[in-house]
Amino acid sequence: MSGAGNAQEAKFTAILGATGCGKTTELKKRLAKVPKKRLQRTFVWSPKEAVDRYIELFPKSTYVRSAGEVLAALKKARADKGGSFHLVFVPTLNRKRDSAMFDVVCKMLMAVGDLVFIVDELHTVTLPSWAPDGWSNVNFMGRGFGLEVFGLSQRPASVDKDFLANLSGLHVGRMSEAPDQAVCAKKLGVPVSEVAALVGYQAIQKNFLTGEIVRVS
C-alpha cells in the first residue's frame, strides 16, 4: 500500500436514484472536487458499461474482466513511475459470480490504497443485510487506506447497510419505488413524501460531516 497521506480527506458518497435522474452528472461534479493526486488512480465497477461508457471518464482507461487482468494491471502500475492507472471492470451480470469477483477486487484495491473506487449498480453485488467481505473491509477501513468511494444505485433498498452507515455524503434523485424512497428519506432525515415528490433532475443532498441538507431544483 502506498502512503495514505490524504486518507482523512477520503470520502464515501452514495448517489442514488432512478435511471435518467442525473446520477452520472452528479458523479462528475463530485469527481471534480477530488484531489488530483488521488484521481491518478481510479477503478470503476461498471455493470452497464455498454450504456454508461465509463471508459471515457478518464484518459487512457483500460477494460479488465477478470482478477488476473486486474492484478496484472495493478502490478504494471506499481512498476511504472508514478503508479497511475484507470481501470474499468465489466462484470458478467451473474450475481453469484460477480459478487465473488467483487470481493476479490475490493481486497486488491485495499492492498493498493490511495485511489478512487466507483461502484455502479451497487445493488447487483450486495444485499441489505449482506456484502462480500472485501466490500465490508472497504467500508470499515477504506478511509485509512486512502480510498475515495462513490456508490451508485437505482435501488437503494437493496444496497448493503454497512455502506449506507459510513457515508460522508448522499445525493438522492427521483425514484418510483416506495421501499427505495423510505430508505433514502430515513437516511436523509426528511419525510418520505419529500423524497417521493422529486421529479426530473431534482435531488436532496446531505453532508454527513456537517449535517447540512440541500435541495437541488
Residue with cell 484507470: 86
pLDDT per residue over 142-201, tens digit each? Answer: 999 999 999 999 999 999 999 999 999 999 999 999 999 999 999 999 999 999 999 999
Q: Hey, what's the cell of 196?
A: 417521493
- Share of residues in the chain with pLDDT > 70 (%): 95
Q: In whole angstroms, what is the distance from residue 69 CA to residue 213 CA?
A: 41
Identity at 9, one-letter amino acid code: E
For residue 54, the 8-state DSSP code is G
Q: Hey, what's the cell of 142?
A: 477504506
Q: Hey, what's the cell of 34?
A: 477530488
pLDDT per residue over 133-148, tens digit each? Answer: 999 999 999 999 999 9
- Share of residues in the chain with pLDDT > 90 (%): 89
Residue with cell 462528475: 28
For the chain, domains (ranges, CATH) are 7-216 (3.40.50.300)
What's this model's pTM, rounded to 2 decimal places? 0.95
Q: In whole angstroms, what is the distance from residue 11 CA to residue 7 CA?
A: 9
Q: Let me know if 191 is exposed, middle or buried by CB neighbors in 10 A (0-12, 13-18, 19+).
A: exposed
Alpha helices for the chain (secondary structure H): 23-31, 49-52, 67-79, 95-112, 133-141, 161-165, 178-188, 192-196
Residue-level pLDDT at 82: 65
